[in-house]
Structure 1
Amino acid sequence: MPAWAVGPLLVAAAYAAGALPWGYVLGRWFGNIDLRQHGSGGTGATNALRTLGWRVSAAVFALDVLKGFLPVIGARLLELNGWWIAAVAVAAVVGHCWSPLIGFGGGKGMATGAGAAAAMYPPVLLVVPVIFGIIWLTRYVSLGSLLGSLLVSGALVGLGVAGLVQWSVALGVLAMTGIIVFQHQGNIRRLLSGTERRIGGPAS
């Protein structure tokens, strides 16, 4: 099957994979609750941590990472060109953030975006200690997520300008960062006003 036919199919499959709301599913399964009705209302690992504890949160995080990682790996194994791979990555994040299975709600996109970015360009994993360091020092998951995303996308754009990274990688990650920042608008406002919830704080 030619790439022009395989590419759209993989993009659609990536969106479908991203749309699987694991936070919602595990919340129902382990806590008999709808995560959308608790804490921040998100279905990601951070709200799961506050509402359901670290074990469920870790499972949600791992599954959300795989939603981005596996579709991109599939696209790479099929040797699609870089722009199709970038489209697959972005589609997984879009599916995670706006899942039709739960009324086009979802999470913030960080874990799925991280999985997709790592599959596109594994050296981005070098920023993981920086993200966890920011979270550990400030106890703000949102701040670590935002700064980490901006650092990675900025570095990749710089590498793209230098000709060291394909532009499909740099712009794909930049697009995912844009989605992540958009989904963190409320967190940004709370960070600026000093009312953002810290890890260890109450869920609501």
Structure 2
Amino acid sequence: MSKNNNRKSTAKSRRKWILTILIWSVLISSGISLLSDSLLSKVNMLVAFIILAFIIIVGIIFDIIGIAVTAADETPFHAMASKKINGAKIAIKLVRNADKVSTFCNDVVGDISGIVSGSVGFFIAQKLIHEFTKLNSTSVNVAIGAIVASITICGKSIGKTYALENNNIIVSKVSKLLYLIVKDR
């Protein structure tokens, strides 16, 4: 009987988590898309590239965090918590919920950043084609798409290696930053 109740509780918890991720995905993706679309329509090419770089960097940073939390060891954070170091309890929660943190960081924020950066890249390509009418539109679209994809892939590849080598340090820094926001709640 206890196993059956435990399974129902676990299934309910999973459904709640999926619903939470769905809501966050919709909110974040629509917010980023709306912000980038409204900003891009009013800016010059340099600012459009800066916005694109920012979106790619956010995706890479969240990918690093997701990997680091998944690879981190909980033990040092217990020692930090016993010494009352700010953010240690948050670090323990992050590591204990590595699957959820990784889903949010890598899949929600990371994938949304990838999709939005592709859209921004397309917008930049269209702006270039409009300003320089002699450019071949297919070539420009392919070139911008390839550049965005390669920067994202290389950045995430470098970030993964960094995250695996420095996982506890990254989790510690993220947890201290979160501590400033949530105060170990």
Name the one with the larger helix percent. 2
TM-score by length of 1: 0.32
Q: Which has the larger radius of gyration?
A: 2
TM-score by length of 2: 0.34
Q: Which has the higher contact order (CA 8 A, sep 6+)?
A: 2
